[in-house]
Copies of this chain bind each other. A is one copy, B any other.
Amino acid sequence: MGALHAGHARLIERARQDGHHVVVSIFVNPLQFDRPDDLERYPRALESDLALCASLGVDAVFAPSVQEMYPDRPMCVIHVGAVATHLCGRYRPGHFDGVATVVMKLFEIVSPDRAYFGQKDAQQLAVIRRLARDFNVPVEIVGVETVREADGLAVSSRNARLDAEERRLAPALYNALREAERLIAGGEVRADVVKSAATARVPVDQRLRLEYLEVVDPEDMQPVERIEGPVVVAGALWVGSTRLIDNVRCDKVVLP
């Protein structure tokens, strides 16, 4: 979606390491925005994006207009089932249908052998893995590690919207997730205990509102009650009028 940052740069670098030709798509997809104000406020920076792509040796940028992608209102769209019913899917109705629909179009247009997506958007990554698998798309989906600021805040285009005080508060989400990670690594298997302890780490502040914090299966994004295998702990935090998401994956489970 453009407004490229260090997280996108890492995707591009991974793609360059793996492949011969790197194509970057830049398209702020109206179909995946559930709130018109969020679509309107979403940062756009095509010129600096193109400069960054050039500096990273990208072979081609596909930056279509809305008119080019949707010459008329699409009659056929992807509907995403269970993998989209929790986490962001619960709070952003239609969001993942819009994501899956535009990604399917991009797969058809660009026809990549591999496609790179950030692990920061863990549910999006799970949706796209299922999309490719369910439709037999001949593409390998590669998840790339989240890039973080020095204080742990996950790099995101939306961070640009934060004022100085909000920016100071924003790492609260990652701190909560790390608390969950610590408990799970220590052998805690009760998801509700993990969620309570992690939630308690979010400071009480009128600018902060935790939308969700969940422990889910990394494959299908369904909430788990007992942590008996790999899980993703994912959360969404409103910081003022900006919604941030983040997650940690916990693979090492010490069973009691």
**Is A74 a contact of B134 with CB atoms below 8 Å?**
yes
A255 is an interface residue with CB less than 8 A from chain B: no
Q: How many copies does the complex hold?
A: 2
B-contacting 9-mer, from A22-30, A78-86, A242-250:
A78-86
Q: How far is the CB of A227 from chain B (nearest CB, A)?
A: 23
Whether A253 sits at the interface, judged by CB under 8 Å, is no
B108→A75 contact, CB < 8 A: no
* Complex contact B131–A76 (CB within 8 A): yes
A82: which B residues are within 8 A, CB to CB?
A: 75
Residues of B contacting A105 with CB < 8 Å? 134-136
Which residues of the other chain, B, contact A193 by a CB distance below 8 angstroms? none
In A104-136, the 8 Å CB interface with B consists of: 104-105, 108-109, 111, 127, 130-131, 134-136
> 10 nearest interchain CB pairs?
A76-B134, A79-B79, A75-B81, A108-B136, A74-B134, A75-B130, A76-B131, A109-B136, A105-B136, A75-B83
